[in-house]
Structure formats: structure tokens, C-alpha cells
Amino acid sequence: MTHAAADLIRQPARVLAAAICEGEVSSVEVTKAHLARIAEVDGQVHAFLQVTAEAALETAHLVDEKRGSGRKLGVLAGVPIAVKDVLTMRGVPTTCGSRILEGWRPPYDSTVVARLRAADMVILGKTNMDEFAMGSSTEHSAYGPTHNPWDLDRIPGGSGGGSAAALAAFEAPLAIGTDTGGSIRQPAAVTGTVGVKPTYGGVSRYGLVALASSLDQAGPCARSVMDAALLHSVIAGYDPRDSTSIDAPVPDVVAAATRADVRGLRIGLVKELSGEGYQPGVLQRFTEAVEILQGLGAEVVEVSCPNFDYALGAYYLILPSEASSNLARFDGMRYGLRVGDDGSNSVEQVMSLSREAGFGAEVKRRIMLGTYALSSGYYDAYYGQAQKVRTLITRDFNAAFAKADVLISPTTPTTAFKIGEKVDDPLAMYLNDIATIPVNLAGNCAMSLPVGLSPADHLPVGLQIMAPPMADDRLYLVGSALESALTDSWGHLLIEEVPNL
């Protein structure tokens, strides 16, 4: 392989890993190429909040020394990666896209970051996100919006738009995101990348700053299904420090991605997730992908999940309720921003002033919703009822999986919309996650992968694959098969299609 920086940044992570392992290129060269790309384009994209260039090059040097001495390397050793700024990283500012954590440098690594380090991966820095992962566009970051590399006037999805945009702009070959209601999959769909929400409990949440503890899940972001599978294999697995972690073998996602054979597989088309409200261009590419799967030998059947219609309402009671509880710790007393501490204000006033200055409008909105839903006299009517709906949604999934091995739908109803278009209309913003939310409520796993460009606006369209808990390998089996078939017709995404980059 050539060593030109322009070539290195466009190579799949698996190719880079193999080349580093064989000594065809050094990790330092690969890292420098990506740091140069960040310096070149991130002023326009704003995918990163922190770039840890010095530490990244130090890690790359150590990987090269390790390879030179003949020691065994991890499967993605020497490959650069970006990490969503909701995961703690020792000594590096972790803001969660919020002013309330300004200046906080965690004294410990999250388990995901620790596993990246143990696998000899090179962490480039921390990516932008909607504040405390509350949003679908990365416009709610206190540090400014991230821009979609396909069209810099459009959103990159959210809340993990920074991670997805870094991939689409070739600033990083891999990234880590988190998914509470679609925050990995929705950005993947609108940036033409691959994003996976693993089974709840399949990847440790230790060191993941909590939004909604029963919904949050970290997962891999990549530009190909195989790259996502390799990263999934690195970060997944039991962690005794996370009480929700599943103590069971990790499904062999890499073998599944390698196999890529859907003959005889039953694929369920979810009736409730592909109708009114979906753009014609999104439905066209989705329908074409379904036909491809049939052509590959899969059996496609329609399934109905009627309680999915109530998922959005239930989610926006459960999430704010859990957020109200989790975010109570950010009070200006122990770490982060402190306002009004001049001796003239009481502790309660300092807390109030710090929260007023530190939290953004969307975070305040959801905290108030959640506090109200949990309040005396309203708990059973709101939060309690939402949990009952959650049970019904899980039952719908179980019934559907009795008829099909995986379920599919469009990932998002639309392609990327313009920055500012929906920021003042919370309900319109929330509807972007209508197809992704049910998976989080049930704890299942799901993937979004690109299935081409909408003919209307020449922007990426994503297809969502859903599987039962701990059947993550099925996502990679179907995703890899579909990706291979599609690559023959439209190839890999090229950043040259974006004139501003």
C-alpha cells in the first residue's frame, strides 16, 4: 500500500491494521495522516472538541516499538480512533457537550477507553455531541454544532454527530458513539456510515456519563461493517464494574461479518416503521435494499408491531425521568462550573446559578419534564404508564422475532436536514428517532448501514437491522451481505463529492 497521507486516511481500519502489523506502514505515519486531516478540515466540520495529538503520537510510537520487538499486537493495533465526549478518559477534559462540566478532567478511564488502550489503539481525541446526549442533530452542543461533511449546511445527526462526521470526513477510520434512542444509528444514517447499538449490557457503561441508565449503550462507528465488527469485538464483554453488564460470551461478530450469507434467513419488514412521514427517496432506497436481500436468498416477511406507535411517547417520559435523576449530581459543588460563589450567596443559590448558566435549553426542558413525571401524584400516571408501554413494545419484538431472524426498517424518516431547520421545534426533532427508539426500550441490538443516496437530494440513506438480545452477530451477517451487494453498484462513499472539503 502507498504511504501518501491522502491514501492512508481513505483505507479501511482492517487494511490499516494489517499493514501496520506487517510493517508496511507505521502507526506513526497513519496517525500523522489523520491528525493532518483533522487540522485541514475540522475547522469546517467541527467533529472534535479535544484533539489529543501528543498522546496519540506517543501511543503510535509505542505500538511501532512493540511491533518491532515481535510482541503480539491487538487486532486493531496502531489504528486511530475518535471517542464521543461522554466517555471518561483520564486527564482529558470530558464535557458531554455541556458548560456544566467545563474544566473537569476525569481521574479514570471508562472501560471502553481502557479496552481501546489495551488493544493498542490510538485515540485521536474526543468528539462533539448534543449536550448530555440530548438531541438528534448535534446542534445542542454548548460548543457549537457539528456539520455534515456531505453538505456543511446540514446536520450530521445526533447526539453522536461528531463521531459520525469524523468518519465521513476521513478524520478518523473508527469512532465510539453511544446510543440512548438512536444516537449512534441516526448519525450513521445521515452521514453514510455504519453504526451499531449493541445489546443493552453487551458493552460496559462504566465511565459512560449517564443520561438514561436503562437505555444508554456504547457502540462502534465505522465506514464498513467489517471494521465495525472488529471494533465491537474489542470493546464488548463482561465488566464487573457495571451492574448491568451481561456475564456471557460475546457473539462472534467478526465471523458473522466474514460469512455474509443470508440464504434461508427470515427477514421481517416492520409495517409500522416505513409508512407515513418517510421521504420518498428514503423509501425508494430502502425498497431497493429489500429486493437485494431477497435476491441474495433471504425470505422477507411483513411483521406488525402495533405498540411501536406509542414508543416515542413512552421514551420521552422514561428518558427525561432518568435524566432528571442522573443530572442532579451536576450542582456546581463538587466539580465543573461554579457560578455565584463570592460569599454573598447560599449553597442553594450557587447551585441554582451554576445550573442556570451551565445547562442548555434542551437539557433544562428534559429535566423539568422528568422531574414532573416523577413527582408525587404523577409518577403512576406518567412514568409508571410509560414502563407498561415499554413492556408491550418488548412483547411486540418477541412476537416478531418468532416469525423472523432479524427485522429491518429505514433508520431515519428523512435524510439530513438543514442546520437550524428544526431546532426550535422539539417535537419535529424528536420524530427523527421514531424508528430507532423501540430498540432501546426493549434492550435489543441494531445496526444502521448506508444503502445509497436519495435521488431527491443526493444525501445518504440508512437501513436499520434489528436483532434479539445477544444476537448481535445476526446484524453483521445481514449487514455484511447487503454491503457487499451494494458496493458493486455504488462503491464506497467519496468525500470528494463534498465541494467544500
pLDDT of 495 reads 46
Tell me the C-alpha distance between 371 and 244, whole Å.
24
Q: Specify which of 354-358, 405-409, 430-434 reaches the highest per-range mean pLDDT.
A: 405-409
Model confidence pLDDT, tens digit, residues 125-141: 999 999 999 999 999 99
In this prediction, residue 488 has a pLDDT band, given cuts at 50, 70 and 90, of: low
pLDDT of 251 reads 97
Told to judge if 197 belongs to the known catalytic residues of this protein, a careful annotator would answer no
pLDDT surpasses 90 at 496: no
- Does residue 114 lie within any of the structural domains? yes
Told to judge if 183 belongs to the known catalytic residues of this protein, a careful annotator would answer yes
Model confidence pLDDT, tens digit, residues 444-460: 999 999 999 999 999 99
pLDDT of 4 reads 78
In this prediction, residue 376 has a pLDDT band, given cuts at 50, 70 and 90, of: confident
CATH number for the domain that contains residue 27: 3.90.1300.10
The one catalytic residue in 26, 27, 159, 233 is 159
pLDDT of 500 reads 56
The one catalytic residue in 136, 183, 224, 321 is 183
Model confidence pLDDT, tens digit, residues 13-44: 999 999 999 999 999 999 999 999 999 999 99
Q: What is the mean pLDDT of residues 90-116?
A: 97
pLDDT surpasses 60 at 431: yes
Residue-averaged pLDDT of the chain: 95
Q: What is the mean pLDDT of residues 426-435?
A: 91
Strand 218-222 and strand 299-303: the pairing is: unpaired
- Does residue 380 lie within any of the structural domains? no
- Judged by phi (left if over 0) then psi (alpha if -120 to 50, else beta), residue 96 lies in left
pLDDT of 424 reads 87
Model confidence pLDDT, tens digit, residues 384-415: 999 999 999 999 999 999 999 999 999 999 99
Share of residues in the chain with pLDDT > 90 (%): 90
Model confidence pLDDT, tens digit, residues 275-304: 788 999 999 999 999 999 999 999 999 999
pLDDT surpasses 80 at 374: yes
Query: What's the alpha-carbon Rg for the chain, to the nearest Å?
Result: 21
- Does residue 46 lie within any of the structural domains? yes
pLDDT of 489 reads 52
Residue keyed to cell 423509501: 283
What pTM was estimated for this model as a whole? 0.96
Tell me the C-alpha distance between 354 and 331, whole Å.
7
pLDDT of 427 reads 85
* Helix/strand/coil for 467: strand
The beta strand positions in 88-179, using DSSP E, are 122-127, 174-178
pLDDT surpasses 80 at 461: yes
C-alpha cell at 194: 455504519
pLDDT surpasses 70 at 77: yes
pLDDT surpasses 80 at 225: yes
- Does residue 322 lie within any of the structural domains? no
pLDDT of 499 reads 46
- Does residue 107 lie within any of the structural domains? yes
- 159 upstream amide cis, omega within 30 of 0: yes
Domains identified in the chain, total number: 1
> Which of 413, 411, 432 lies closest to 423, judged by CA?
432
The one catalytic residue in 84, 126, 197, 422 is 84
> Which of 25, 44, 10 lies closest to 500, judged by CA?
44
Tell me the C-alpha distance between 239 and 433, whole Å.
29
Share of residues in the chain with pLDDT > 70 (%): 97
- Does residue 461 lie within any of the structural domains? yes
Residue 92's domain comprises: 5-306+394-486+493-497
Told to judge if 159 belongs to the known catalytic residues of this protein, a careful annotator would answer yes
Model confidence pLDDT, tens digit, residues 303-345: 999 999 999 999 999 999 999 999 999 999 888 999 989 889 9
Strand order in the sheet with 266-270: 48-51, 122-127, 80-84, 174-178, 218-222, 194-197, 445-453, 460-467, 406-410, 266-270, 299-303
Model confidence pLDDT, tens digit, residues 181-223: 999 999 999 999 999 999 999 999 999 999 999 999 999 999 9
> Which of 89, 371, 72 lies closest to 209, judged by CA?
89
- Does residue 315 lie within any of the structural domains? no
- Does residue 360 lie within any of the structural domains? no
Q: Work out the end-to-end distance of the chain between its first and last CA atoms, rounded to an integer number of angstroms.
A: 24
